[in-house]
């Protein structure tokens, strides 16, 4: 406890004097909680921490010198300076990462616990959170999932009275958090004075042992007080001097010294050892070199995928639908790799929103085909944790529109964990997202939002337009050691084509030239590909040879192929169903222009949806969607007017 206290005091000095930049959230005053809990954990047990997590890190066994070097942005830090104070992980000792999003780590912890449960390890996961996180949806979604599946996770809630500056009574409508959590079936709870380390240990022990025995999750609420403000710029004006004095009289270090009867000479020996360690840590951190450009850009590379064949009930060349091809691809990957899991709403008897998973629950069972509550951020975050824990989850959303509910899990965690933690973890997560219109589904069930994710480093985005690519891209996505968004155009589910070979893969970032052209090139993907084919046929009757490139991969684009065909035709049109404003067309044109400007005979153009929500009326829908006539008109303009 003294080691944590002195580390935080020294860190405050270094940050306050400008020697270390950035922000920091000090743990001083709460040491008894992390120490009391970690005293019961093995190195194989895992913890998921918070933005106020230095105490969790050190109590789990991290070295002061490498931790301080990380916070100082040095290459000798645990994450090479890329995680810093809020985002540090040391998986080698079971510390799976601190998290800068309030409540963001809770579903990840549940996913790590699922991985432990499926392996039968008898290990437990501890998820730390503050009182502010208990007001988030992640808190309740994670508790619900943990309770439903009896996951070996113990939520340790550090109630220091304030969510930043907002008092508990203002932000949480409960008498206490242990009572709140107890309403979830199968969740054991306890509430303890978090300033008394031996009391914390005594309260945590039965909850941890219960979780190890497979009897379900628990929540331990620990009341405490942070000695400093929320962050370095916080003067604590919202806390009274009287309250602060009262709580400081209950300093966990002083309570332990008095109540355990520690001798002065023992205290002096410990203090001397701690001071020597802290001094050495400061010297190590300040003398270590900072990272360079190579460090800043590393840990986004994607390793090659396994190329072995997967079991398949459909013979190569057998005609099938996209729906059935996707189902058989999932079946094959489930059979091939026991780490593959399916998660999502109504995956069982219903077979998923569009029938893709029908029959898989009966074959593989509920442990591998998991029907979830309607809590997209919760189960997507859980899938992120399961992926970090060594599994390969495939998450299905009913409609891609619902990705708006899980942006935190995807954008802040799935996309960033490997980078922030300097390659110490991987997130092999596949998200299946049915995209686009389906005649009358309306504004919240018909969107094509893929352009949002092209802006997010760390995410790959792919979209097939036929059976062969659906199989090859989905296999590649599942086998990739990084998060992949697999877009499934709704109107193409019934499309037919030959089943490819059992070892067929389509690499990320590789477009396909479907039709060679001489005058103009159409770039598209998904359910706009049939429009491009129809337009190309019409243009051919008018003497205009239009080529077609199926992009397939939107992040990354295959810019080499796209540039090569533009060198031949000098004219290009990007066609997509998403809004014309800020869509895939804008992204592709912007990326291509520096490469192809000198070869162009006309401006690169786009044909896309109007910048309006999707109307529910199928008749009105046609007025806002791109069509073959629009493509023909634009192609004629580019060839005849330039």
**Active site members:** 376, 445
Q: Annotate 25-42 with b (16+ C-beta within 10 A) or e (fewer).
A: bbbbbbbbbbbbbbebbe
Altogether, the residues listed in the chain come to a count of 642
Give the residue carrying structure tokens 């206490």.
176
Other beta carbons less than 10 A from residue 269's beta carbon = 11
Cβ–Cβ under 8 Å, residues 219 and 131? no
The dihedral through the CA atoms of 156, 55, 133, 252 has a sign that is positive
Alpha-carbon gap, residue 521 to 513, rounded angstroms: 10
- CA angle (454 as vertex; 604, 615 as ends), nearest 5: 80
Both tokens of 563, joined, read 């540039």
Nearest-Å Rg of the Cα atoms of the chain is 28
Cβ–Cβ under 8 Å, residues 579 and 452? no
Cβ–Cβ under 8 Å, residues 48 and 212? no
Alpha-carbon gap, residue 247 to 230, rounded angstroms: 16
Q: Annotate 320-359 with b (16+ C-beta within 10 A) or e (fewer).
A: bbbbbbbbbbbbbbbebeebbbbbbbebbeebbbbebbbe
Both tokens of 318, joined, read 């057998």
Torsion angle of alpha carbons 228, 230, 231, 232, nearest 10°?
-40
Cβ–Cβ under 8 Å, residues 471 and 499? yes
Residue 496's closest CA among 323, 259, 269, 346?
Answer: 323
Cβ–Cβ under 8 Å, residues 159 and 30? no
Both tokens of 188, joined, read 């054991």
Residue 533's closest CA among 515, 512, 517?
Answer: 515
| DSSP secondary structure string for all residues of 573-588 | EEEEEEESTTSHHHHH
């Amino acid at each position: 406890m003294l080691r944590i206290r002195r580390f935080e005091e020294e860190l405050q000095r270094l940050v306050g004097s400008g020697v270390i930049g950035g922000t920091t959230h000090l743990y001083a005053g709460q040491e008894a909680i992390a120490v009391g809990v970690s005293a019961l954990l093995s190195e194989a047990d895992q913890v998921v921490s918070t933005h106020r997590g230095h105490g969790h890190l050190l109590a789990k066994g991290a070295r002061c010198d490498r931790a301080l070097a990380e916070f100082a942005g040095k290459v000798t830090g645990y994450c090479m300076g890329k995680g810093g104070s809020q985002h540090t992980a040391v998986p080698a000792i079971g510390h799976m990462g601190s998290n800068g999003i309030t409540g963001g780590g809770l579903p990840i912890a549940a996913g790590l616990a699922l991985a432990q449960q499926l392996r039968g390890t008898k290990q437990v996961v501890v998820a730390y959170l503050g009182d502010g996180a208990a007001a988030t949806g992640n808190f309740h979604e994670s508790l619900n999932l943990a309770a439903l599946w009896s996951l070996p996770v113990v939520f340790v809630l550090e109630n220091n009275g304030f969510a930043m500056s907002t008092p508990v009574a203002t932000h949480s409508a409960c008498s206490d958090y242990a009572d709140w959590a107890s309403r979830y079936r199968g969740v054991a709870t306890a509430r303890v004075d978090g300033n008394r380390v031996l009391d914390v240990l005594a309260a945590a022990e039965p909850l941890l042992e219960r979780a190890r025995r497979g009897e379900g999750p628990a929540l331990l609420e620990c009341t405490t007080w942070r000695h400093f403000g929320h962050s370095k710029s916080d003067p604590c004006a919202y806390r009274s001097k009287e309250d602060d004095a009262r709580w400081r009289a209950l300093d966990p270090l002083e309570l332990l010294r008095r109540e355990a009867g520690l001798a002065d000479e023992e205290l002096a020996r410990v203090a001397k050892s701690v001071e020597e360690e802290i001094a050495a840590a400061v010297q190590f951190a300040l003398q270590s070199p900072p990272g360079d450009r190579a460090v800043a850009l590393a840990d986004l590379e994607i390793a090659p995928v396994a190329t072995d064949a997967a079991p398949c009930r459909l013979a190569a060349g057998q005609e099938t639908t996209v729906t059935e091809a996707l189902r058989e691809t999932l079946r094959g990957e489930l059979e091939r790799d026991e780490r593959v899991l399916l998660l999502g709403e109504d995956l069982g008897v219903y077979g998923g929103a569009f029938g893709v998973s029908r029959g898989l629950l009966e074959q593989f069972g509920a442990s591998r085909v998991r029907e979830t509550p309607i809590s997209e951020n919760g189960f997507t975050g859980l899938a992120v944790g399961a992926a970090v824990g060594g599994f390969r989850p495939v998450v299905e959303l009913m409609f891609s529109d619902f990705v708006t509910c899980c942006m935190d899990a995807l954008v802040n965690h799935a996309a960033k964990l490997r980078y922030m933690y300097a390659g110490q973890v991987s997130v092999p997560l596949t998200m299946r997202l049915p995209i686009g219109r389906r005649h009358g589904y309306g504004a919240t069930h018909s969107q094509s939002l893929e352009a949002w994710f092209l802006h997010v480093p760390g995410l790959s985005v792919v979209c097939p337009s036929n059976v062969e690519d659906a199989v090859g891209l989905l296999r590649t996505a599942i086998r990739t050691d990084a998060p992949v968004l697999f877009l499934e155009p709704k109107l193409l589910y019934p499309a037919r084509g030959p089943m490819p070979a059992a070892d067929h893969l389509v690499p990320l970032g590789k477009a396909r030239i479907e039709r060679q052209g001489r005058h103009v090139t159409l770039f598209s993907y998904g359910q706009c590909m049939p429009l491009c084919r129809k337009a190309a046929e019409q243009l051919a009757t008018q003497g205009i040879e239009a080529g077609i490139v199926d992009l397939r991969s939107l992040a990354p684009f295959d810019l080499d192929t796209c540039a090569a065909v533009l060198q031949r035709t000098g004219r290009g049109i990007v066609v997509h169903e998403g809004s014309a404003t800020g869509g895939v067309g804008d992204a592709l044109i912007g990326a291509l222009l520096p490469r192809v400007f000198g070869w162009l005979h006309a401006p690169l153009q786009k044909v896309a949806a109007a910048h309006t929500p999707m109307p529910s009326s199928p008749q009105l829908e046609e007025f806002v969607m791109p069509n073959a006539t629009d493509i023909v008109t634009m192609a004629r303009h580019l060839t005849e007017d330039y």
